[in-house]
Amino acid sequence: MNELKRNIAIVYGGDSSEHDVSLRSAQGLYSFFDKERYNVYTVDIKGLDWHVELADGSTSKIDRNDFSFVEDGKKVLFDYAYITIHGTPGENGLLQGYFELIGMPYSTSGVLVEALTFDKFVLNQYLRGYGVSVADSLLIRKGYEELVSDDEIEERIGMPCFVKPAADGSSFGVSKVKNKDQLAPAIRKAMMESPEVMVESFLEGTEISIGVYKTKEKSVVLPATEVVTANEFFDYDAKYNGQSQEITPARLPEDMTERVRQITSHIYDILHCNGLIRIDYIISKEGKISMLEVNTTPGMTAASFIPQQVRAAGLSMTDVLTEIIENQFA
């Protein structure tokens, strides 16, 4: 009977500062998967060290020719990869390209979509062309910092503003800048994470985050989560060390809730996404909905937004993950 189960790889790790966050997501996913239906393994990827963790606590090296490994003297092939890497190479298209080359079905969107959503500046310009409201922003490249002056940033973007890595996760290297003197150190900090830095205008309002997934049979937009934090913004401590209040469903009027749902579904379709994604927004007092970020490998610990939202929708994470996997084989 065991041979009839699909072999699922939960792929975590990566080469960014969010390696440990990815490990927590992998642990969450492992707890959610239907073990009666699937043989579930966790695969740690860091640089060229790729290995699968076995039930007895040992590890087995991944053969990158076909993403296989050896267990009890037998070669084991995976049927599906669930990618939960936050940052490179699992969130920027690199790992997706590898899986495309070897013909392995995987959980995220394709190479182009992953590359596009990973670069916050490029994504904003792209979605702006479809009428999606986003904050004004400037791009600064490492080695070319002098092309954009502090005065130009203050005049064009205004103060306060956010300085963040353009191509990386959203937990590290982000600063809220309140005056020109803080720009240079904030840019240096962001460049520790990414060679491209986005300076983005500050949007005041209610921050929400909302998950969505679609299969051949249905479209599911989950209840939104409202983020309330006493910190300057929703930073690493607010996300992972309990320094925020997360209210699901968000305290929004019914008509606003419906507008957010429609925009979220529209963005999913514009980008031609696959699997579970999460989109973050700021809603101004005047009711303007501005997109902040599209996260294609959202956190998956029991306390993360997506599991919270799935529970609030009266759904089961186990069932949702099964739907997403089986959609690839339908």
- Mean pLDDT, residues 110-133 taken together: 96
Indicate the pLDDT class of residue 4, thresholds 50, 70 and 90. Answer: confident
Angstrom CA distances, 263 to 90, 130, 209, 248, 299, stand at: 26, 11, 12, 19, 22
99 versus 192: the higher-pLDDT residue is 99
* Full-model pTM: 0.90
User: Residue 236 pLDDT more than 60?
Assistant: no
Per-residue pLDDT band at 193 (split at 50, 70, 90): confident
In this predicted structure, the answer to whether residue 286 has a pLDDT above a threshold of 90 is: yes
- Give the pLDDT score at 1: 41
Average pLDDT over the chain, rounded to an integer: 92
pLDDT at residue 188 above 90? yes
In angstroms, how far is the first alpha carbon of the chain from the final one?
Answer: 21
Are the CB atoms for 318 and 30 separated by under 8 Å?
A: no
Could you tell me if 199 and 163 are in contact, meaning their C-beta atoms sit under 8 angstroms apart?
Answer: yes
Tokens of 287: 């009711």
Residue 93 neighbours by CB under 8 Å, 6+ apart: 110, 111, 112, 113, 114, 115, 118
Question: For residue 202, what pLDDT is reported?
Answer: 93
- Cβ-contact 195, 88 below 8 angstroms: no
- Can you tell me the mean pLDDT for 230-251? 67
Q: Which tens digit of pLDDT belongs to each residue from 214-231?
A: 999 999 999 999 999 765
- Predicted local confidence at residue 170, as pLDDT: 56
pLDDT band at 19 (very low <50, low <70, confident <90, very high): confident
Question: What is the mean predicted confidence (pLDDT) over 127-140?
Answer: 96
d(CA 328, CA 99): 14
d(CA 97, CA 8): 18
pLDDT digits (tens, 9 = 90+) for 20-62: 889 999 999 999 999 999 999 999 999 999 999 999 999 999 9
